[in-house]
Amino acid sequence: MATSVKNNFLNHALASNLQQALIRRKDSVQEQHHSKAQEPNKASSKPVVLVTNGEGIDSPGLTFLVEALLRDALLDVYVCAPQSDRSVCGHSVTTGETLAVCSAQVSGANAYEVSGTPADCVSLALSGALFCWSKPVLVISGLNKGAACGYDTLYSGAVAGAREAMICGVPSLCVSLNWEKNVSCESDLKDAVTVCLPLIHAAISDIQKGIFPKNCFLNIGIPSCPLTNKGVKVTRQSSSRASLNWQAVSTNRNPSAGHYMSNQQNLGIMLAKLGRDASAAAAARRLNSNHRNMEIESIGVAGKLSSQQSIKKYFRMELTEKRQQNKEDYLDSSALEEGFVTVTPLCLYENGDMEIQSSVSRWLAIGLSDDQ
């Protein structure tokens, strides 16, 4: 469905005033907090924001975002993020295994690192098991290094974190920078945070007013040169995706593959001895069997294998550049490449796509024009 440029693109004057309009809104909120603080016998209540990401708790993008959210002391910010990089784990969740959760600090914010996926982190944080609050005003997944457009949103752990929040009934945003290899640098992450802050503050304010778009979460893309962006554009999800190329490898050409498998087997034996995981015990028993592994590279095998032989293959996935099916300017990937800040509403079903598209367009246009 092609929507008009008028519905999707904020005019130049409105876009150029985005920062100033939302700063005025933020100042107004700050004054309200200040006046409330002066009132006796009334506890101040700042909006609670939960932050997660796909790249792990130590990623600079998450740190810069949390620092910016805490800078004006207007928000209570909490972090629950993966212990390690889970950027392409999709919406996977961990079942039947015990997750390790460790307390941490991220730029002064109370935080937990979890040995699970972004969806695990959000689900656990919203369960009430970690934090004292009942529910945050907003969940933000970001700032993530690498665009999440088109079908790649299905693979993205960062997008899954925001989607899980929506499933749990909490408004959410996913914010990503269109990182260019060998071109982008850490300062671009800081600039991307600067660009997305007005949208975050506008979202928090309008959630409290009850006028934030419902039944969707917003996937925000920041162009590779954040400070020279062309404005904000509401977009639709495209059909672009990265090509997934599988390459057969062997321990002869890639000894690390065999080393990795050996480490995993040793870990299985250790866990079995500790009695912590029945599946690990089963894995250990398999290791003690008389089966002999044969490593091969080709798809077919000449001759017959005896009953005492099994086949082991090693493969590695290589991601290549995205294949863009079409380049309409209302699609997320096209608009992002053109230098726009993209705001793409995503939902769990397609029936409400047109309604949600219009809802987000009205929110951005009307909400900002009120401050003119």
Please report which confidence band the pLDDT of residue 276 belongs to, taking 50, 70 and 90 as the band edges.
very low
Residue 311 pLDDT greater than 90, yes or no: no
Distance CA 342, CA 223 (A): 8
Q: Which residues pair with 140 in a beta bridge?
A: 51, 173
pLDDT score at 252:
64
Checking if the pLDDT of 228 tops 60, the result is: yes
The CA–CA distances, whole Å, from 269 to 98, 103, 172, 220, 260 equal 17, 29, 41, 44, 14
Which SS3 state, helix, strand or coil, does residue 259 take? helix
Of the listed ranges 38-47, 176-185, 346-355, the least confidently predicted one is 38-47
Q: What is the C-alpha end-to-end distance of the chain, expressed in Å? A: 31
pLDDT of residue 256: 55
Residue 288 in this model has a pLDDT that exceeds 50: no
Largest CA distance in the chain: 86
Query: What pLDDT score was predicted for residue 244?
Result: 74
pLDDT of residue 371 exceeding 80: no
Give all domains of the chain, ordered by start, each with its CATH number: 48-244+328-354 (3.40.1210.10)
Most confidently predicted of 205-209, 266-270, 278-282, 321-325:
205-209
What is the pTM assigned to this prediction? 0.71
Residues 6+ apart with CB under 8 A from 242: 152, 319, 320, 321, 322
pLDDT of residue 353: 65
Q: Please, are residues 33 and 44 in contact by the beta-carbon 8 Å criterion?
A: yes
Q: Each residue of 119-142: pLDDT tens digit?
A: 999 999 999 999 988 899 999 998
Contact 330, 238 (CB under 8 A): no
- Does the pLDDT value for residue 219 go beyond 70? yes
In angstroms, the CA 348 to CA 334 distance is: 23
Which contiguous run of DSSP H or E holds residue 47?
none
Binning pLDDT at 50, 70 and 90, where does residue 305 land? low
| High-pLDDT (> 90) share of the chain, % | 48
Burial of 288 (0-12, 13-18, 19+ CB in 10 A): exposed
